[in-house]
Amino acid sequence: MQERLSEIKNQAKDDLAKAGSIEEVETIKTRYLGRKGGVINEIIKAIPSLPSEQRSSTGKSANILKNEIGRWIEEKKGGFDTSAEASLTLPSFDVSQPGEHKPYGHKHPLTQTIDEIKGIFKKLCFDIEYGPEVEHEYYNFDALNIPADHPSREDFDTFYLGNKRLLRSQTSTVQIRVMEKKKPPIRMIAPGKVFRPDTVDARHASMFHQIEGLMVDEGVSFSDLKYVLTLFAQSYFGQDIKMRFRPSFFPFTEPSAEIDISCSLCKGKGCSVCSQSGWVEVLGAGMVDPNVFNAVGYDPEKYTGFAFGMGVERLTMLKYGIDNIRLFFENDLRFLSQF
C-alpha cells in the first residue's frame, strides 16, 4: 500500500506540473482529494480491509499525502490568481526598461515677476494685499476721486457687469479696501488681474496684471516715494538703471508723476522698444489726493501718503526683451519653458 501511495504522490506532482489553468487544477483536486471517488479517499476507505498491522501506518501516510497534495494545489492556484490585488503585485512590465520621463512644471513668468516684486517690497516691510476682480463702481472710480465724466468710465474702457458692478480696470481699488479696514501707518502692495476692453495687439491684452502700492503715515513725503521706487527699480532691473520722474495727472494723486526707466534692452542708446528715446514708462505714481483720504475717513491734515501702480507684463517684457504680450497667454511651452 505504501508503494501505491508513493505512486499517487508522483502522479499528483506530475499532473499539477502540467496543469495550465485554474480549471485544470480544480479537476486535479477533485480527482485526488474529492470526497466521492477521490483517489486518497478510496485508499482511506479501503483501510479496514487491510491486514491490521498495515492499517495505522497506511492511515498516517494517506493523511500526510492528502495534506501535501492540498498544499501543492493551493500553491499552484496562487500562480493563476487573477484578482485585482494579484495583478497589481505581479509586474506586467519590463522593470529593466528606462522610466517614462515626466517633465517638471514651473511658475509662469508673470507669477515669477510678481513673486520677485513681492520679495522686494517685503524687505521694505510692505504687506501683500488682495482685492476682488469683480468690483463695485465705488471702489474702481468714486472713492478714487475719478469724476463721473472721466473717460476711463466709458464702456470702451471698462467691462460693466450691470448693477454698478464691473471687472476692475485697476488694482488701485485695493488701496480703498485696505484703508477702509485699517488705520495708518499703511505699507502695502496689491498684485492682481485687471481687465480692459482694449483691442489686443503686441502691447495690449484685455486682461493683464498690475501691482498697486500705497504708503500712508504722518510725514510721508515725495522723497519717500522717490526713495522706495528707486530702490525697487534698482533691485528689479539692476543697480545701473536710471529713472526719470515726469509730471503727470491721476485723479487719485496730487501731485502725480509718470516714471520712466532707462531702456534696459538698449541701455538707453535707443531701440524699437523705447521708440529710439532711450526711456520707457513703467509706473504711475503720486501723493495720495486728500479727497481719497476723505473717502476712507482719514484726516488729510494729519496723514500724507504716496501711491504707485505698475504693469507686470510690461516689467517682465522689459527685463527679458519680450516683444509681444500675447506670448504670456498662449500657453506655448516653447516660450514658457525658457523661464
Residues engaged in binding ligand DAH (CB under 6 A): 170, 172, 212, 250, 253, 284-286, 307-309
CA-to-CA separations, 90 to 17, 95, 134, in angstroms, rounded: 21, 11, 54
> Residue 336 has which C-alpha cell?
514658457
Helix (H, G, I), strand (E, B) or coil at 112: helix
Compute the least distance from the CB of residue 308 to ligand DAH, in Å. Answer: 5
Beta carbon nearer to ligand DAH, 307 or 322: 307
Compute the least distance from the CB of residue 216 to ligand DAH, in Å. Answer: 12
**Angle between the N-to-C axes of helices 312-320 and 109-123, in degrees from 0 to 180, rounded to the nearest 10:** 100
Beta carbon nearer to ligand DAH, 38 or 305: 305
Compute the least distance from the CB of residue 237 to ligand DAH, in Å. Answer: 19
* CB-based contacts of 203, cutoff 8 Å, min separation 6: 325
Beta carbon nearer to ligand DAH, 298 or 308: 308
Compute the least distance from the CB of residue 242 to ligand DAH, in Å. Answer: 21
Beta carbon nearer to ligand DAH, 15 or 289: 289
Beta carbon nearer to ligand DAH, 40 or 288: 288
Compute the least distance from the CB of residue 197 to ligand DAH, in Å. Answer: 14
Beta carbon nearer to ligand DAH, 81 or 201: 201
* CB-based contacts of 176, cutoff 8 Å, min separation 6: 139, 143, 144, 292, 295, 296
* CB-based contacts of 212, cutoff 8 Å, min separation 6: 170, 171, 172, 174, 175, 189, 190, 307, 308, 309
Alpha helices (runs of H) in the chain, residue ranges in sequence order: 2-18, 22-33, 39-46, 52-79, 84-89, 109-123, 137-140, 173-181, 222-237, 290-296, 312-320, 333-336
Compute the least distance from the CB of residue 175 to ligand DAH, in Å. Answer: 7
Strand order in the sheet with 165-167: 134-136, 165-167, 159-162
